[in-house]
Structure 1
Amino acid sequence: MNKQLKKVLQSKRDQHLEELKAFLRIPSISALSEHKRDVQQAAEWLAQSLKKAGLENVRVMATKGHPVVYGDWLHAEGKPTVLIYGHYDVQPVDPLDLWETPPFEPDIRDNKIYARGASDDKGQTFMHIKAVETLLQIEGRLPVNIKFCIEGEEEIGSPNLDPFVAEHRELLQADVLVVSDTPMLEKGKPTVCYGLRGLCGLQIDVQGPKRDLHSGLFGGGVQNPIHALVHILDSMRNEKGEITIEGFYDRVQPITDEEREAYRALQFNEEEVRQELDVPELFGEQGYSFLERTWVRPTLEVNGIYGGFQGEGIKTVLPAQAHAKITCRLVPDQDPEEITRLIQRHIEKHTPPGVKVSTQLFDKGKPFLTPFDHPAIQAAGRVLEKAYGVSPAYTRMGGSIPIVETFHSLLNLPAVLMGFGLPSENFHAPNEHFHLENFDQGLVALCYYWFELEKALGQQ
């Protein structure tokens, strides 16, 4: 089957890429209400693609927000069932002027496809559909049962997927969850991710006087909300990169010696990261490597800060308000709701006189960890080595996919996070792209995986 598989994939490559371009042209930005119809269009496009691939029971299922697309193939009697999760919504495209080509006009250059969603996550979700379609064309059957659950709200924190999963437990029940929404360690190094950080986010709103004031008349006599906000934010971290919020680290699991040795064995080049980012030096919590800081240590980052006059030149104003958005990446066993309460308590304690402070809560998700010696994880490593010709890396990931923990807690599913993007592909930024070499090799790996998974889970 190996030679035939690669031959079929090669013969279908141009067709697959044209279909992917059609998918990428749909501006399915879940965060912006003006794109609600586009998000619906993307869901309907996906449903048609699943039907064309040979999936059955395909449905566009309503939620209180954007819909979930479901489809299945359940004719492998007595064999394991796999739930494939992905998302079809994308991030906003701002700043638009930094895109070399329009974000929703896919362009292939240097063997990369450029468009919003190319890597995160339309391209990778599309690969799963094409892998199933290819196997059904070649074999007429699949070695395992397959279910697809593709949502349209991942980029806004999946607010409606938890209740959707809870309501449809029987429909979504499976033996393992497979997700391709994580990056490879680096170019040419396929990766199986076995852990994700959790997430909590909030906005800090500082209110001073009831209106903007003339800084000459009132400056020095009234608290400046921007100064107050800077004081609050500065109190959250020290010069060593440590988070100073009381209780923040209380539940953090220490890194084991085995994990540290495994990360050292990856021989990750921090200097290359520094050069790629064009910064004078890397910075983070002292006593930890870059991988440890970004995979297994929690963070608190200011994502945005604004207030006062933003135009060209200067305006001598004492602003009435100031705002900041912060997010924390969390690790086992931190709870996002508890961390949010600790941050709110810290803000109250460090609010200077003369202003009122409130908070708005946003995304939250629990961290997740699967033992990397789980049979499904090891099966993924074997097929990646077969497709790429090199040993894979087993890693954790600094990002968050909150729904993975939901599938685990509600359906008791182990998760295989086998992504094909690269950290340099600008997901969430202008000029997002996807390396087509990973589109090609990843399709081969996914086709192999279902056969390898049948054997691995059948031996349990």
Structure 2
Amino acid sequence: MGTHAPDMQRAAEWLAARLRLCGPLVAELWPTQGHPAVYAEWLGAPGAPTILVYGHYDVQPPEPLDRWKTLPFAPTVIGERVYGRGVSDDKGPLLIAVQVADAYFAATGGLPVNVKFLFEGEEELGSVHLPALVAAQAGRLAADFVLSADGGMWSAEIPSLTVSARGLAALEFTVRGPAKDLHSGRHGGSLQNPLHAIAELVASLHTPDGRVAVDGFYDGVTERGSAERQATARLPFSDAGYLAQTGAPEVFGEAGYSTLERQWDRPTLELNGLWGGYTAEGSKTVLPAEAHAKLTCRLVAGQEPGRIPGLIEAHLSRHLPPGVTLDVRPGEHGARAYRIPEGHVGRRVAGEVLEQVYGVAPLEVGMGGSIPVLETFQQLLGLDTVFFSFAVGDEDIHAPNEFFRLPRIAQGHQAWARYWARLAEVGRATALQHG
């Protein structure tokens, strides 16, 4: 699993030890074919609901290092923010749940509900080994639903509850021309340049108005009703504020939809990487042998992640310029779109608790990103997932200078403690219903 495997092992061991410090928690390292998962449980509340708390301790690479104003792996407090890789995604939110368990044990000797923790080390790799682990440990992981420390709120000023997430499909492709790099003066104009060809291919994937041009891509996608669209339009969002946050000159996307609709409710196809030829300093006059691209698609309800790469491959094959060959490699993971059922008890309790903490009912919002483990929990355990993270979407997640707002720690402590207590009350009053 690469040069940082020992670091990941140490991180998992630290997390297991931290869980044991809470008190009577049984904490274990569960090996996978990659990085280990950390599991812990306390089942001392007979008759109370059982929740599976999910999070991940792995992080994205810190590069580019020269863009950081602090050391990425030395958490640094500046004002009311702590900076460092992973402080928002997902180490800070994950630790909040652990600290609340610690506080409950110290104050009362137990928890209001039965709690199982599952913290993985490969979420940023697409949770590639988690399905096999969950299948093997399905009995140990049985619960009423999943409460996720991963995710995040829409805004730091307005509480929000994420109720949906888009799915994911991915692929890479290579365009090959000559058997080796050639002199561009000697051979240019006589052979197809793979960089030119791949640029033409990439341009063919969208129409000028931003719609994906792949045949069959939108099959199964349904339009949202007018009431849903109006509810999204009423949210406190502006394109001007969004542009100020991102630094982009203007918004762009599929015609006929607002920015939030494009982010939450419409599928996308994005080019994530494009490279080939000579890219180092200075000039090297070559006609490159090959060029490469990486794509990911965010999917909505009605789209099957296993079908989308094949549609894209067929499109690329049909539009392949002359003089080159095409090699397509589907991504290792995918996920369907997800939505928490309207009447789910975990969703209802989350809304109640956030209103108690913030004094205003939370907005119900979507997530433009994808969390593949949602489908794993649903398919293998039959469990829905409730997002309950106190990270915020603007905290430079995956980018240099990632940060976590320190006041959110206290807010998260209060909310997680209230959540477990309220869920215990609901569980005593009525039989817990699944979605």
Partner of 2:306: 337
CA spacing shift, 1:146–1:225, aligned 2, 3 Å: same
Once residues 189 and 95 of structure 2 are traced to their aligned partners in structure 1, the CA distance between those partners, rounded to angstroms, is: 58
2:152·2:387 contact (CA, 8 Å) conserved in 1? no
Distance 1:374 1:68 in 2: 28
Tell whether 2:251 aligns with 1:282: yes
User: Cα distance, 1:312 vs. partner?
Assistant: 2.2
> Which residue pairs with 1:76 in the alignment?
45
* CA distance in 2 between partners of 1:278 and 1:122 (Å): 27
Shift in Å, 1:365: 1.7
- Among candidates 189, 192, 214, match of residue 245 of structure 1: 214
Match for 2:380 among 410, 416, 419?
Answer: 410
Question: Counterparts of 1:437 and 1:339 in 2: how far apart (Å)?
Answer: 42
Residue 98 in structure 1 maps to residue 67 in structure 2 = yes
Separation in 1 of the partners of 2:390 and 2:14?
A: 23
Aligned-partner SS, 1:386: helix
Structure with greater helix share of residues: 1
Which residue of 275, 278, 287 corresponds with 1:306?
Answer: 275
Q: 1:53 — aligned with what? A: 22
Query: Letter of the aligned partner of 2:68 in structure 1?
Result: W
SS for the counterpart of 2:140 is helix
Specify the SS of the correspondent of 1:44. helix
**Aligned-pair distance for 1:389?**
2.1
State the Cα deviation string for residues 375-434 of structure 1 (Å, max 9, x = none): 210110111111122221111101111001110111111211122111211111111110
Structure 2 contact 374–384 (Cα < 8 Å) conserved? no
Contact 1:190–1:420 (CA under 8 A) maintained in structure 2: no
Does residue 428 in structure 1 map to residue 398 in structure 2?
Answer: yes
Mapped contact 1:196–1:397 kept (Cα < 8 A): yes
Distance 1:55 1:69, change over 3 A: farther
2:360 matches 1:390: yes
Aligned to 1:243, the other structure's residue is in SS state coil
Q: Secondary structure at the match of 2:274?
A: strand
Unaligned runs of 5+ in 1: 1-31
Matched pairs, number: 429
Contact 1:87 1:122 in 2 (8 A): yes
**Letter aligned with residue 315 of structure 1:** K
Deviations 1:58-86 (A, max 9, x none): 10011111111100010110111000010
Output the CA distance in 1 between the equivalents of 2:376 and 2:164. 14
Which residue of 2 is the match for residue 379 of structure 1? 349
2:385 partner amino acid: A
1:243-296 Cα distance to aligned partner (Å, 9 max, x none): 010100001132122321221222212210112222221111111111111011
Stretch moving more, 446-455 or 322-331: 446-455
Residue among 175, 185, 190 paired with 2:159: 190
Distance 2:190 2:54 in 1: 56
Please give the secondary structure, in 2, of the residue aligned with 1:336: coil
Give the residue type in structure 2 aligned to 1:147.
Answer: K
Report the equivalent of 2:87. 118
- The residue aligned with 1:218 is 187
Q: Which position in structure 2 is the counterpart of 1:231?
A: 200
Amino acid at match of 1:439: I
1:328 is matched with: 297
Q: Give the Cα separation in 1 of the matches to 2:260 and 2:228.
A: 11
The CA deviation at 1:55 is 4.7
Aligned to 2:335: 365
Tell me what 1:21 maps to: none
* Matched AA of 2:388: M
Would you say the 8 A contact 1:375–1:457 is kept in 2? no
User: Partners in 2 of 1:294 and 1:112 — Cα distance?
Assistant: 27
Secondary structure of the structure 2 residue equivalent to 1:34: coil
Alignment match of 1:315 (pick from 259, 284, 293): 284
- State percent identity of aligned pairs: 44
Partners of 2:175 and 2:228 lie apart in 1 by 42
CA distance in 1, matches of 2:121, 2:113: 26
Q: 1: distance between equivalents of 2:191 and 2:395?
A: 46
Q: State TM-score, norm by structure 2.
A: 0.96
Distance in 2 between residues matched to 1:436 and 1:213, nearest whole Å: 55
1:5-34 CA-partner distances (Å, limit 9, x unpaired): xxxxxxxxxxxxxxxxxxxxxxxxxxx611
TM-score, length-scaled by structure 1:
0.91
1:38 aligns with 2:7: yes
Question: Is 1:179 the counterpart of 2:126 in the alignment?
Answer: no
2:284 partner amino acid? K
Query: Displacement, 1:56?
Result: 2.4
Looking at structure 2, the residues matched to 121 and 55 of structure 1 have their Cα atoms a distance apart, in angstroms, of 24
Q: Distance in 2 between matches of 1:332 and 1:153?
A: 25
Distance 2:45 2:226 in 1: 42
Unaligned runs of 5+ in 2: none
Alignment of 1:197-208 (within 5 A): 197-208=166-177
The CA deviation at 1:57 is: 2.3
Single out whichever of 49-58 and 128-137 deviates more from structure 2: 49-58
Deviation at 1:47, TM superposition (A): 0.4
Q: Provide the C-alpha distance between the structure 2 equivalents of 1:345 and 1:140, rounded to a whole number of angstroms.
A: 60
Deviation at 1:107, TM superposition (A): 0.1
State the AA in 2 paired with 1:350.
H
